[in-house]
């Protein structure tokens, strides 16, 4: 409900794509997500990766243990929705165990070498993972896809579009009932594919791909904190993403892909991919939707479409945002390190209201 131009109240949102890492980093970043989101799909690209239900169960326990009591000593309600990391060696039985556990909400495909901590990923999806895909389709276990080819012959900016032709279309022809989430969609071609595809396909969209095009990477110099994978694209692609996200179409929903890296790992001669957006996530999304006059569609995108795809109920409580300028800090503490949030030092026109 938009009760005035300065306030927005929506069902509490969920983050359908999140990196929390582990240990000190987990403890540092988790409150940023919990302050806004009731649930999050937790990416499994730890080192070593989360490849079994038992590992996911233990990781989930560590996340729950890291929930710090808030005021009045109450531990905030937050549900981590765990995922498994698909490898060439994942067994179909592991998928059955995952489904039976009730803790696993998806299996993540990282093409080997595509991004941060993807070395253990899949080298040949249809060739190596056929029996796993068969069982996932039968059990309605979603495949969460990092949709980029790794072929060095393919231009970095074209890797998502080429992935559609080389992997997505053959995959979905072979497994038409498989639930697939095209994670962190970045292109006009991706939007068209997801919108037009037959069957249970959806996509997450990050705040940074809605707000920035690839110029942000080179604004006055080289800007490592805007570097993520899939990389920011041209303005036409940003426009297509913004149109899709704010259209109300049920196949598009919120996934921040917030990915914490220490400042030093980003600011070096071979800097890591990943933007940290968790602290200001809903303010960033509100800013994007506001820019096209579609705040009325933020609730569907952030709070309704995701649960519908995953077969879950929307959250029952609410989150309010207010139109107040809010400065993004230059850096945030992260254990014994620091991280630089996206848009550090700039002012956002929205912020969440205190609970
Ligand atoms: O930019 C990214 N960072 N893209 C990914 O796919 C992984 C993520 C990370 O884990 O840091
Ligand atoms: Zn990610």
Q: Is 34 part of any domain?
A: yes
Instruction: Give the residue from 303, 29, 280 showing the smallest Cα distance to 42.
Output: 29
pLDDT digits (tens, 9 = 90+) for 121-139: 999 999 999 999 999 999 9
Q: Is 45 in the pocket of ligand 1 (CB under 6 A)?
A: yes
Distances (CA, A) of 188 to 29, 59, 180, 223, 247: 31, 36, 18, 24, 14
CA 46, 47, 52, 53 dihedral sign is negative
| 325 found inside a domain | no
Q: Which CATH number characterizes residue 290's domain?
A: 3.20.20.140
Q: How far is the CA of 325 from the centre of ligand 1 (A)?
A: 29
Q: Which pLDDT does position 107 carry in this prediction?
A: 98
Among 46, 116, 224, 342, residue to substitute to test ligand 1 (most atoms within 8 Å of Cβ): 116
Which residues neighbour 254 within 8 Å (Cβ) at sequence distance 6 or greater? 13, 14, 15, 16, 204, 205, 285, 301, 302, 306
How many residues make up the chain in this entry? 355
Would you say residue 68 lies in a domain? yes
Each residue's pLDDT tens digit, 50-90: 999 999 999 999 999 999 787 778 888 999 999 999 999 99
pLDDT at res. 20: 98
Closest-lying ligand to the alpha carbon of 273? 1
| Ligand 1 atom with least separation from CA of 183 | 6
Average pLDDT over residues 309-322: 97
Task: Please check whether residue 339 lies inside any domain of the structure.
Answer: no
Cα 18 to ligand 2 centre (Å): 6
Domain residues for the domain of 67 are 14-314
190 within a domain of the structure (yes/no): yes
Predicted structure pTM score: 0.97
Question: Is the minimum distance from the CB of 292 to ligand 1 under 6 angstroms?
Answer: no
- Nearest bound ligand to the CA of residue 260: 1
Kindly identify the ligand whose nearest atom is closest to the C-alpha of 83: 2
Question: Annotated catalytic residue: which of 22, 257, 325, 337?
Answer: 257
Q: For residue 41, is it within any domain?
A: yes
E-strand stretches of 36-171: 39-42, 79-85, 104-109, 143-145
Q: Ligand 1 pocket check: which of 257, 260, 271, 342 to mutate, most ligand atoms within 8 Å of Cβ?
A: 257
Q: Is the CB of 229 under 6 A from ligand 1?
A: yes
- Mean pLDDT (whole number) for 214-234: 98
User: What pLDDT score does 75 carry?
Assistant: 81
Q: Whose CA is nearest to atom 2 of ligand 1?
A: 274
For ligand 2, the distance from its centroid to the CA atom of residue 281, given in whole angstroms, is 15
Could you say which ligand is closest to the alpha carbon of residue 148? 1
Note whether residue 94 is domain-resident. yes
Number of domain units in the chain: 1
Tell me what pLDDT residue 353 has: 94
- Answer yes or no: is 332 within a domain: no
Asked about 93 being catalytic, the answer comes back as no
Q: What is the DSSP string of 247-288?
A: TT-TTEEE---B----HHHHSSTTPPP----STTHHHHHHHH
To the nearest whole number, what is the mean pLDDT of the chain?
Answer: 96
Of the listed ranges 2-11, 252-261, 292-301, 316-325, the one predicted with least confidence? 2-11
Asked if 115 contacts 74 with a C-beta cutoff of 8 angstroms, the reply is no
Atom 8 in ligand 1: residue holding the nearest Cα: 274
Report, as an integer, the average pLDDT of 321-328.
97
Residue-wise pLDDT for 98-124, tens only, equals 999 999 999 999 999 888 788 899 999
Calculate Rg over the CA atoms of the chain. 19
* Gap from CA of 43 to ligand 2 centroid (Å): 7
Residue 186, ligand 1, Cβ within 6 A:
no
Q: What's the mean pLDDT in 210-239?
A: 98
Is pLDDT of 299 > 90?
yes
Distance (angstroms) between ligand 1 centre and the Cα of 284 equals 18
Asked if the model's pLDDT at residue 4 lies above 70, the reply is: no
pLDDT the model gives residue 3? 47
């Amino acid at each position: 409900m938009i009760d005035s131009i300065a306030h927005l109240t929506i069902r509490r949102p969920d983050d359908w794509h999140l990196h929390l890492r582990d240990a000190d980093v987990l403890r540092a970043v988790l409150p940023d997500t919990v302050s806004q989101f009731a649930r999050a799909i937790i990416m499994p690209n730890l080192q070593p990766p989360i490849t079994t239900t038992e590992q996911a169960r233990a990781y989930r326990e560590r996340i729950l243990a890291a929930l710090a009591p808030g005021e009045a000593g109450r531990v905030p309600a937050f549900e981590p929705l765990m995922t498994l990391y698909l490898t060439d060696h994942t067994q179909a039985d592991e998928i059955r165990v995952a489904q039976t556990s009730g803790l696993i909400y998806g299996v993540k495909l990282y093409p080997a070498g595509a991004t941060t901590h993807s070395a253990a990923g899949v080298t040949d999806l249809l060739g190596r993972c056929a029996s796993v895909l068969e069982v996932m389709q039968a059990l309605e276990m979603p495949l969460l896809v990092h949709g980029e080819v790794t072929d060095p012959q393919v231009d970095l900016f074209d890797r998502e579009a080429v992935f559609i032709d080389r992997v997505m279309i053959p995959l979905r022809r072979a497994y038409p009932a498989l639930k697939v989430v095209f994670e962190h969609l970045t292109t006009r071609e991706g939007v068209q594919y997801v919108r037009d595809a037959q069957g249970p396909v959806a996509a997450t969209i990050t705040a940074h791909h809605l707000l920035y095009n690839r110029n942000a990477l080179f604004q006055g110099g080289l800007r490592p904190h805007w570097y993520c994978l899939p990389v920011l694209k041209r303005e036409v692609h940003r426009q297509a993403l913004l149109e899709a996200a704010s259209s109300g179409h049920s196949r598009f929903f919120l996934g921040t892909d917030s990915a914490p890296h220490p400042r030093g790992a980003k600011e070096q001669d071979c800097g890591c991919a990943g933007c940290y957006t968790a602290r200001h996530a809903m303010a960033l999304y509100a800013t994007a939707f506001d820019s096209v006059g579609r705040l009325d569609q933020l609730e569907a995108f952030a709070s309704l479409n995701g649960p519908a795809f995953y077969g879950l109920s929307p959250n029952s409580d609410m989150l309010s945002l207010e139109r107040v300028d809010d400065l993004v800090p230059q850096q945030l503490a992260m254990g014994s390190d620091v991280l630089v949030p996206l848009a550090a030092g700039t002012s956002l026109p929205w912020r969440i209201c205190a609970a």
